[in-house]
A and B are shown apart, each in its own frame.
Chain A
Amino acid sequence: NAGVTQTPKFRVLKTGQSMTLLCAQDMNHEYMYWYRQDPGMGLRLIHYSVGEGTTAKGEVPDGYNVSRLKKQNFLLGLESAAPSQTSVYFCASSVQGARTEAFFGQGTRLTVV
């Protein structure tokens, strides 16, 4: 069982470069989320999706874009990376919103220099 898979696991970017993080889930979940984790701040929601073709902003959406063209995939894009986006990024999915268990990927450690 793969669950939630994130690609890549590690990445170093230069300021101003762009990249896309891929999240894939094989559990047929409707809801998908992108969080960032920073020391002492817990997890903060960047964007989320409640179904294929839908996206919505979370707490900290600035500098990020997302797309959900297929139900199983949720892409997070950084158009022009900044050092403040150095973080660990987690993707998660759930069956039916926030009262059901969220399943998390292993994380992507991104460093912007």
Chain B
Amino acid sequence: AQSVTQLDSQVPVFEEAPVELRCNYSSSVSVYLFWYVQYPNQGLQLLLKYLSGSTLVKGINGFEAEFNKSQTSFHLRKPSVHISDTAEYFCAVSTTGDYKLSFGAGTTVTVRA
């Protein structure tokens, strides 16, 4: 079975500063990796996903993530955040033939002016 660990529960950051959210996974087989974002009082929406191919994945709203197989990581980055990026971010993993996602505990990003 696969699992996901998000290494930071809370990340405060100033507006226009860079941010990195760390995600590590464990799995004995090939994985598919995702980042979802949840804005206050809303459902989750997909930021980006890695299925195969290039290890650098670009998503919506200027976010990108890098798949590192040797370190079993899928860290999310944004070079310059906005107030509107304040949200909870979830890393998730699935594997070939799996029907469901396994989510990490989430990282709350608070952007301050």
A→B interface (CB under 8 Å): 4, 31, 33, 35, 40-45, 48, 50, 56, 58, 90, 92, 97-99, 101-102, 104-107
Whether B46 sits at the interface, judged by CB under 8 Å, is: yes
Question: In the complex, how many residue pairs between chain A and chain B have their CB atoms under 8 Å apart?
Answer: 62
B→A interface (CB under 8 Å): 4, 6, 9, 32, 36, 41-46, 49, 51, 90, 94-96, 98-106
Q: Which 4 A-B pairs have the closest CB atoms?
A: A98-B94, A104-B43, A42-B103, A43-B103
Contact B45 A40 (CB under 8 A): no
* Given A42-B90, A42-B105, A43-B103, residue A99 in contact with residue B51 (CB < 8 A): yes
Q: When chains A and B are docked, how far (Å) is the Cα of A43 from the Cα of B34?
A: 14
**CB-defined contacts of A42 to chain B, threshold 8 Å:** 4, 6, 90, 103-106
Min CB distance B37 to A, Å, is 11
**CB-defined contacts of A102 to chain B, threshold 8 Å:** 36, 44, 46, 101
**CB-defined contacts of A43 to chain B, threshold 8 Å:** 44, 90, 103
